[in-house]
Homo-oligomer: A and B are copies of this chain.
Amino acid sequence: MNDDHERFRPASTRVSPRFAGVPTFLRLPQHDDPADVDVLICGAPFDGGTTYRPGARFGPRGVRTASALTRGFHPDTRVDVFSALRCADGGDVGCIPMDLDRSLAAIEERALSIAQAQACPIFVGGDHTISLAPLRALSKVFGPLGLVHFDAHSDTFGPAWDVDVHHGTVFRHALEEGLLRARDVVQIGIRGPFTSPDDLDYARSAGFRIIGMDEIREDIAAVERHIEALSECGPFYVSFDMDAVDPVFAPGTGTPVPGGLNSYEALRLVRACRHVKIVGGDAVEISPDHDPSGNTTLLAATLIAELLAAIGYRRGEPDTTC
């Protein structure tokens, strides 16, 4: 391990107990320049696209605090994240609650600068609207992206109150803007009831693979294999909406839907993403004010650690993406 790997890893608990110090993502150093690191984790504290319960603007702050307990060696995959990847907390993008366009533009600019520095951006939201920004940025660098999308909703719905860009329409816009390889999109955790029979039609007719709870509970290993099978297909973005998880496991979110993933399944399926080439990702719809137990932010932090391990697993392998 070279000096940079010593520099861009969590503070040693010998120097600073886990409960001490200014809270950063995973107790990583704060650093602005993506050129020095492999992964830069940034906050995107915007919740102006929320249609029901707002609060995700506090997501980055909540995840920073909860991530004090997160560690880096993953016994199942033998990935030692911070030996494999130089990581840092890149701070928050300046978002304006009542200005969607300026907020998305700022996030996109940050994502682009990270990708152009050959680092991998991970955003902590914020509501799901923010995912549109890194997809725009990364597709400029990598072309259309595959997507592993964890969510209770397909987020391909129509306008609400004549507002067309909100947290329930983001992947419809991404597809329409040409940012996605539709046949390499998998949506995991989707469940009803829905407002109408049409709600999933857009997603299905676009070619998205929708994996609901019955399929996951029937055979989770088969779902893992489905993700693994995507590995030959080019760069992917991983987007984790906390409401993919059952609201009992993640109450701190804006539009909870009972009957979702438990924490074990969520962690296991993110782990399965290690087989694909991940060029960016996010964890969104995290509302700490609706999470008095801290379980949501703790799970989000652990999912981010799992995502880092998935990225680290692949690094160093010869790139054979199609």
Contacts and interface: CB of A to CB of B under 8 A. Distances in A.
Interface stretch (A113-121, A260-268, A314-322): A260-268
Contact of A45 (B19, B264, B294): B19
B22 A91 contact: yes
B72 A195 contact: yes
Interface in A32-56: 43, 45, 47-55
B200 A95 contact: no
A50 B97 contact: yes
A251 B294 CA distance: 9
A246 B251 CA distance: 15
Interface in A150-180: 160-161, 163, 166
Nearest to A78: B197
Number of copies: 6
Contacts of A96: 17, 161, 163
Interface stretch (A8-16, A130-138, A230-238): A8-16
A290 B292 CA distance: 10
A249 interface: yes
Given A194-B73, A258-B267, A263-B259, A92 B24 contact: no
A274 interface: no
A262 B289 contact: no
A3 interface: no
A289 B258 contact: no
A196 B249 contact: no
A223 interface: no
A12 to B, nearest CB: 10
A77 to B, nearest CB: 10
Contact of A69 (B13, B49, B57, B256): B256
A270 to B, nearest CB: 11
Contacts of A54: 47, 54-55, 57, 97
A255 interface: yes
Interface string A183-197: 000000001111111
A64 B248 contact: no
Nearest to A60: B20
Contact of A309 (B98, B193, B258): B193
A94 B17 contact: yes
26 contacts: A15-B94, A16-B92, A16-B94, A20-B95, A21-B60, A22-B89, A53-B55, A54-B54, A54-B55, A54-B57, A71-B195, A75-B191, A75-B194, A75-B212, A98-B98, A99-B161, A193-B302, A193-B305, A193-B309, A246-B262, A246-B263, A246-B264, A248-B263, A251-B293, A258-B302, A262-B262
Interface of A: 13-24, 30, 43, 45, 47-55, 57-58, 60-61, 64-65, 69-76, 78, 80-81, 89, 91-92, 94-100, 160-161, 163, 166, 191-197, 199-200, 212-214, 217, 246-249, 251, 255-260, 262-264, 267-268, 289-290, 292-295, 298-299, 302, 305-306, 309
A-B pairs with the 5 shortest C-beta distances?
A: A54-B54, A20-B92, A71-B193, A75-B192, A258-B263
